[in-house]
Amino acid sequence: MNLAPYIDHTVLKPVTLTADINKLCTEAVQYGFAAVCVPPPFVKLAAGLLKDSNVKTATVIGFPFGYSAIEAKIAEALLAMVDGAGELDVVINLIALKNNDWQYLANEINHLVPVIKSRGKVVKIIVESGVLTDDELKKCCELYGAAGIDYLKTSTGYAEKGATPEAVKLMRENLPPHVQIKASGGIKTYAFAKELVDAGATRLGCSASVAIIEGTPAGSGY
């Protein structure tokens, strides 16, 4: 099974260099990855490098902790789209979730989705499944599944636990069929990546993308 079309080739480290983005985009085109996912300051560069390819440009919003104000997330999203992002991976406010403030989360998503979808862009919502209970994850599926998003995404890669097949299966069982799943966080091998796809993921966020495809040892990272 060729996993390359499932992969968002990712670099999100806080010390990312221009050279990292150049390499990321070159590899994404070479291997036929679905997208690159880059820090917001590099969206314009990545979009320019990929303009003559089929590889999409993605970035993150409210990353990695999700507790930015709604207004700040909207501003981030608008700038990212102006710079050329076609896909936005938005971290939810986990503080609100853990304090059982689902009204805040509903308000947040109901402000963000129209801004992004009105410009024809893809919305991926990151819920950090590794720090959620099964009930919390199910509630996320209910709330975000009805909110007009394109993907529900497991993880930022910055929590103590990333993607698991169990979380992906739970999400697939509780999401509407039209909402896809992106698994991310700790994906280092072809075998694990395929396990996540078999569980229901249709995108994979990986920094070890080339190692996964080539079957070589992966380094540390997202």
The catalytic residue positions are 89, 153, 182
**What's the CA gap between 74 and 173, in Å, rounded?**
30
**What's the CA gap between 139 and 102, in Å, rounded?**
9
Give a three-class secondary structure readout of the chain.
CCCHHHEEEECCCCCCCHHHHHHHHHHHHHHCCCEEEECHHHHHHHHHHCCCCCCEEEEEECCCCCCCCHHHHHHHHHHHHHHCCCEEEEECCHHHHHCCCHHHHHHHHHHHHHHHHCCCCEEEEECCHHHCCHHHHHHHHHHHHCCCCCEEECCCCCCCCCCCHHHHHHHHHHCCCCCEEEEECCCCCHHHHHHHHHHCCCEEEECCHHHHHHCCCCCCCC
